[in-house]
Amino acid sequence: MAESGPDPVATLVRDAAFDAYSAGLFAPAGARPHLYALQAFDIELSRVRDLTREPLPGEMRFQWWRDALADPARADAAAHPVMRALEAAIRYGALPRQALQDLIDARNDDLYDDPLPTVGDLEARLGATRSALLRLSSLILARGRDPGGADAAGHGGLALGLTQIARELSRAPQRVARLVPVELLAAQGVGQGDLERNEAPAALVAALRALALRHLNAARAAYPALDPVAAPAFLPLALVASDLTRRGPGDGLRWLRLARLWRASRRSTPF
């Protein structure tokens, strides 16, 4: 009998979202593939903008995902490894399909370069993506039962998203220029054109890091309301504090991040 190859869904998550992949290693074995399926779904959605030059082809890709969610038995949906794995995750975690449709709609906004006027607009965007993903992961770990911790997921997702934007601003500003709110740019005397030219002042990065830290602290305060069964979903937050104060490239080494997650997995409050 031929041996089966590596799981393409887990491989996708490992290659594209190593922190999420590593955190999944500390989840119960039965839930792990379903957590990876959800992450892979989000990875597929987040890549649409990079794969299409114009909004219309991107809209068509997102529509495929909407149709596949509505009719997962159709041939092309059933043959797609991520969609097939996602359908298993939906059944395992009793995931609401509408919440997944909402995630598609939120990612659809990435196709357009409309500026975000305020910090509140950015927080709403991240809440609809990063926070929603945390909440859905919690449901998987709780097998569809409400594990509580909605506020922890809300603030935790914002902390993760803001940290990622701050990290990109410090090394490749043009990649996240469209996500930096106009009011923050104005406060620092910066224009979006400056970011497009790969110029981001340290004060702007610091402002985003401070905002991320506020949400991290709020997530910590709300964390006790979460059923511990859902704790593995929140493990990536254990990396946020070090990412916000990172001074050297060594902090990004995979073995070091995995070691931090292992230590966090052994604490009652992982972050």
> Is pLDDT at 226 greater than 70 in this prediction?
yes
Q: Are residues 227 and 121 in the same domain?
A: yes
**Which residue, of 112, 139, 154, is where some domain finishes?**
112
Contact 27, 20 (CB under 8 A): no
Within a domain: 181: yes
- pLDDT tens digits, residue range 18-28? 999 999 999 99
Task: Give 247's pLDDT tier (boundaries 50, 70, 90).
Answer: low
pLDDT value at residue 88:
98
Residue 77 has pLDDT above 80, yes or no: yes
Q: What is the pLDDT of residue 1?
A: 41
Q: Is residue 266 part of a domain?
A: no
Decide which of 112, 131, 160 is a domain's last residue: 112
Q: What 3-state DSSP class applies to 191?
A: coil
On whether both 124 and 238 belong to a single domain, the answer is yes
Does the pLDDT value for residue 249 go beyond 70?
no
- In terms of Cα–Cα distance, which of 20, 250, 253 is closest to 140? 20
Tokens encoding 137: 């992961």
Q: 50 lies in a domain? A: yes
Residue the block writes with tokens 């039965």: 30
In a domain, 264, yes or no: no
CB-based burial of residue 235 (10 Å sphere; 0-12 exposed, 13-18 middle, 19+ buried)?
A: buried
User: Taking residues 224-240, what's their average pLDDT?
Assistant: 97
* pLDDT given for residue 197 in this prediction: 86
* Single-letter residue type at 269: T
pLDDT value of position 6? 82
Verify that 160 and 88 share a domain, yes or no.
no
Q: Output the pLDDT for position 251.
A: 60
* Same-domain pairing of 88 and 135: no
Q: How far is the C-alpha of 132 from the C-alpha of 138, rounded, in Å?
A: 10
Q: What CA–CA distance (Å, rounded) separates 87 from 70?
A: 11
Q: Are residues 238 and 132 in the same domain?
A: yes
Please report, for residues 135, 141, 166, 198, 215, the alpha-carbon distance to residue 95 in angstroms, rounded to integers and kept in the order given.
10, 11, 31, 40, 26
Q: For the residues 57-70, what does the mean pLDDT come to?
A: 97
- 228 and 130 belong to one structural domain: yes
Evaluate whether residue 237 is within a structural domain. Answer: yes
Neighbours of 109 (CB within 10 A): 13
What angle (nearest 5°) sits at the alpha carbon of residue 9, between those of residues 6 and 12?
95
Portion of the chain with pLDDT greater than 90, in percent: 80
Model pLDDT, residue 2: 42
Average pLDDT, the chain: 93
pLDDT attached to residue 76: 96
For residue 188, give its domain range. Answer: 114-251
In this prediction, residues 4-23 reach a mean pLDDT of 93
Instruction: Say yes or no: 128 and 234 in one domain.
Output: yes
Q: 66-75, 143-152, 187-196, 225-234 — which is least confidently predicted? A: 187-196
pTM for this predicted structure: 0.93
| Residues 6+ away with beta carbon under 8 Å from 46 | 107, 110
pLDDT of residue 181: 95
Please give the share of the chain, as a percent, with pLDDT higher than 70: 96
pLDDT for 86 beyond 70: yes
Residues 222 and 119 in one domain: yes
Domain count, the chain: 2
Same domain, 152 and 56: no
Q: In the block, which residue shows the tokens 């996500």?
A: 179
Query: What are 102's two structure tokens?
Result: 């909402």
What integer pLDDT is reported at residue 191 of this predicted model? 86
pLDDT value at 248 more than 70: no
Regarding whether 144 and 81 lie in a shared domain, the answer is no
Together in a domain, 148 and 229: yes
Query: What is the C-alpha end-to-end distance of the chain, expressed in Å?
Result: 45
Place of tokens 């104060």: 245
Q: How many residues belong to the chain?
A: 271
Do 13 and 65 fall into the same domain? yes
DSSP letters spanning 21-39: HHHHTTS-TTTHHHHHHHH
Locate tokens 């770990």: which residue? 141
Rounded to whole angstroms, how far apart are CA atoms 265 and 271? 9
CA 82 to chain centre: 16
Of 60, 86, 112, the one marking the end of a domain is 112
